[in-house]
Amino acid sequence: MAALSPERPLVVSVLAVTAILFGALTLLSGGATLFFDGAARAAAGDYVGFVLWFNFMAGFAYVVAGVGLFGLHRWGRRLSVLICVATLTVFVAFGIHILLGGAFEPRTVGAMILRSAVWLVIAVKAQTIELGDSEA
């Protein structure tokens, strides 16, 4: 039986809701571009496939991490760190793509800076959260 969870600090709720909303928006925008022809795909311009697919798939992880953080689970904290590291790794790969002359949209640079910053803040702040579960 799990130990009683400590009271959820406001910062945890903010981090969790931010992760969940960020994930939902990521799934909507990425899904529209990947799966529907039309305005979303045209507006995306010279998108980089691996970045778009990573961000779309990561959207699911954002939601799961938010749920884990909200529930004060250790796995939510670990998943936040994994998302941060993976996002930074894809950002580096995207930079290499650009340096090698690959086509890209300049706004993707801004989007990746935002994603990296959001997940860096969430991952770092999550390390300070008192967790309620003593297992995994």
User: Where are the chain's structural domains?
Assistant: 10-126
Which letter does DSSP use for residue 129 in this model?
Answer: P
Q: What is the pLDDT of residue 134?
A: 46
Identify the weakest region by mean pLDDT among 41-45, 87-91, 102-106, 122-126.
41-45
The angle, 0 to 180 degrees and rounded to 10, between the axes of the packed helices 106-126 and 10-35 is 150
Amino acid in position 108: T
Supply the DSSP string of 30-48, one letter for each residue. Answer: HHHHHH--SHHHHHH-S--
Q: What is the pLDDT of residue 50?
A: 96
Give the pair of three-digit tokens for residue 134.
């003593």
- How does pLDDT run across 101-131, given as a tens digit for each residue? 999 999 999 999 999 999 999 999 999 887 6
Helix and strand tally (H, E) in the chain? 5, 0
Rounded Cα distance, 88 and 115, in Å: 9
What pLDDT is stored for residue 6 in this prediction? 59
Residues in the chain: 136
What six digits make up the tokens of 28? 């909507």
pTM to 2 decimals? 0.87
* CA 90/CA 54 separation, integer angstroms: 8
Which residue is it, tokens 């954002």?
A: 62
